[in-house]
């Protein structure tokens, strides 16, 4: 019979091994963007390192198998458990070598994890188990452990504990396996008391990290952001950070600035009013993205608007901007207005399954920095939006910067045209971002910018609006491809544009 407790340890070490991989992928996506690239390279490096670890395990002398297994578990627990906290600190203080440290940790953890299962199988094999039963049972619990953590990590652990504390938790489990092994097989170890004491010491260190991990991350994030961090939360979809300096509130998603309260009025007035000011009979408006409620705030200023539907993926985002007193003061309680319906769903999926028609659609998605976001700016997505747009309705899309990211901006324009829209690109200066771009789209070519605004504006007037639809020589159109799902040209343009800016 196989030792059931050893088989249970296989389940635990498999869970921990995958957890460290997911933590590295999620953290690098938060800090570096482009989640597909990060997860792909990390998974590849991790699996390669596991292969090296499996090969190295054969050099462990048979009589030292248990000792080496305990030592490997302690190293995995210590290095893997602290990996997220270490990476946060490296990014905060030494951003240049971040990738080097990231992949070094991935390789070290992968090598150690790769040694675990072969060593466990050797221990079990010494207990005269049938080889076929041994392999099937070990691999079964290995895969079950991977399944368990792949579900728990995004749904429970990352949102509730955060990445750093989740790392320390799994490190504690690895160290716990080492302590139990040292206790269970103490008669087969050369120095059983020393092994148990060492395991307890590592467990205490990791327990300290588990309880103090949030403070460590907050301290590290405080070094990343120039202003004091007043709120931070990891959701299943993104990392939300809010900073404040005097009267300036700033929202950062995955490290990228989304707005500054000092000049967000410029961005949101430009996003909403050039369209709605020309639709005096508009009653129903659909907002896609924009979970901060700031675009909704501007829409609700029109007395003719009867219904606003906001579709945003992340309930943590919309909940925060519906409850936090400072943020609700900024959006003027837009998300709790009786005319507003908030729906937390994927925008594309929601558009496919609902039939409503709207007088205006405002697409205020994050920039297309990865393929998951790039699909929101694709030809199929814009065709879906077209089905929900009234015959004489208007669609407005935030479209990155025509100055800093010209390929991206004109790609979005080309994509809307490929989806059957007539487009009117425009831009506005937002001090926090520089020159920012929008594209107004319709089925008909007779749009004219408003010559006056019935509502009082902080930024816009007739003269500034006319200038927004005029592009100077250094922001003229580029010849680019439309963004289709099979090529995701926009994401490549975006990375190329902002890579040029960084260089």
CA torsion through residues 177, 183, 189, 191, sign: positive
Helix (H) or strand (E) holding 424: strand 422-430
Strand order in the sheet with 229-234: 229-234, 239-245, 248-253, 256-260
On the CB side of 310, how many CA atoms lie within 13 Å of its CA? Answer: 30
Residue 441, beta-bridge partner list: 395, 423
Determine how many CB atoms are found less than 10 A away from the CB of residue 189.
18
**Mutual orientation of helices 406-418 and 379-387 as an angle, nearest 10°?**
50
Give the β-pairing of 256-260 and 248-253.
antiparallel
Residue indicated by tokens 């005269």: 128
- Burial group, residue 280, by CB count within 10 angstroms (0-12, 13-18, 19+): exposed
Please, what is the angle between helix 98-125 and helix 65-93, to 10°?
Answer: 160
Q: Pick the catalytic residue: 312, 364, 367, 497?
A: 364
- The answer to whether the CB of 242 falls within 8 A of the CB of 231 is yes
Residues with Cβ within 8 Å of 173's Cβ and at least 6 positions away in sequence, in order, are: 12, 15, 16, 77
Is residue 175 within 8 Å of residue 78, measured between CB atoms? yes
The label of the residue with tokens 């619990």 reads 141
Measured CA to CA, the distance from residue 171 to residue 73 in angstroms comes to 9
For residue 364, indicate whether it is catalytic: yes
Distance of alpha carbon 483 from alpha carbon 379, whole angstroms: 6
Burial label for 398, CB within 10 Å (0-12, 13-18, 19+), is buried
What are the DSSP E strand ranges found in 51-146? none
The residues assigned a catalytic role are 364
């Amino acid at each position: 019979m196989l030792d059931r407790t050893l088989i249970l340890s296989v389940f635990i070490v498999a869970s921990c091994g995958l957890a460290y991989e997911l933590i590295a992928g999620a953290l690098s996506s938060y800090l570096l963007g482009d989640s597909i690239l990060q997860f792909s390279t990390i998974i590849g490096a991790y699996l390669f390192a596991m292969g090296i670890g499996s090969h190295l395990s054969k050099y462990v002398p048979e009589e030292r198998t248990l000792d080496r297994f305990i030592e490997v578990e302690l190293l995995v627990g210590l290095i893997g458990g602290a990996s997220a906290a270490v990476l946060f600190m490296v990014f905060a203080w030494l951003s240049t070598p971040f990738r080097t440290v990231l992949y070094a940790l991935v390789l070290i953890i992968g090598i150690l994890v790769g040694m675990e299962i072969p060593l466990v199988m050797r221990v079990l094999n010494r207990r005269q188990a049938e080889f076929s039963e041994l392999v099937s049972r070990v691999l079964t619990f290995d895969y079950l452990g991977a399944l368990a953590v792949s579900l728990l990590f995004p749904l429970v652990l990352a949102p509730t504990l955060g990445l750093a504390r989740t790392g320390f938790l799994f490190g504690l489990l690895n160290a716990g396996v080492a302590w139990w092994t040292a206790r269970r097989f103490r008669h087969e170890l050369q120095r059983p008391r020393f092994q148990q004491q060492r395991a307890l010491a590592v467990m205490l260190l990791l327990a300290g990290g588990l309880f103090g991990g949030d403070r460590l991350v907050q301290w590290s994030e405080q070094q990343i952001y120039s202003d004091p961090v007043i709120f931070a939360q990891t959701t299943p979809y993104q990392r939300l950070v809010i900073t404040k300096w005097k009267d300036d509130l700033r929202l950062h998603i995955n490290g990228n600035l989304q707005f500054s309260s000092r000049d967000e009025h410029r961005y949101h007035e430009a996003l909403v009013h050039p369209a709605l000011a020309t639709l005096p009979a508009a009653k129903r408006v659909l907002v896609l993205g924009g979970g901060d409620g700031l675009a909704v705030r501007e829409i609700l200023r029109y007395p003719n608007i009867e219904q606003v539907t906001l579709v945003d993926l992340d309930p943590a985002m919309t909940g925060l901007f519906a409850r936090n007193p400072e943020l609700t003061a900024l959006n003027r309680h837009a998300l709790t207005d009786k005319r507003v319906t908030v729906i937390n769903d994927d925008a594309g999926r929601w558009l496919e399954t609902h039939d409503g028609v709207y007088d205006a659609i405002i697409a205020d998605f994050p920039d297309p920095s990865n393929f998951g976001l790039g699909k929101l700016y694709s030809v199929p997505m814009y065709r879906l939006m077209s089905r929900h747009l009234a015959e004489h309705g208007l669609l407005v899309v935030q479209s990155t910067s025509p100055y800093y990211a010209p390929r991206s901006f004109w790609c979005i324009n080309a994509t809307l045209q490929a989806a059957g829209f007539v487009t009117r690109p425009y831009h506005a200066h937002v001090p926090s971002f520089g020159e920012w771009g929008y594209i107004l789209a319709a089925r008909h070519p007779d749009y004219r910018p408003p010559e006056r605004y019935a509502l009082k504006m902080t930024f816009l007037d007739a003269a500034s609006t006319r200038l927004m639809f005029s592009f100077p020589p250094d922001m003229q159109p580029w010849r680019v491809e439309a963004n289709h799902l099979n090529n995701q040209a926009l994401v490549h343009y975006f990375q190329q544009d902002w890579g040029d800016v960084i260089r």
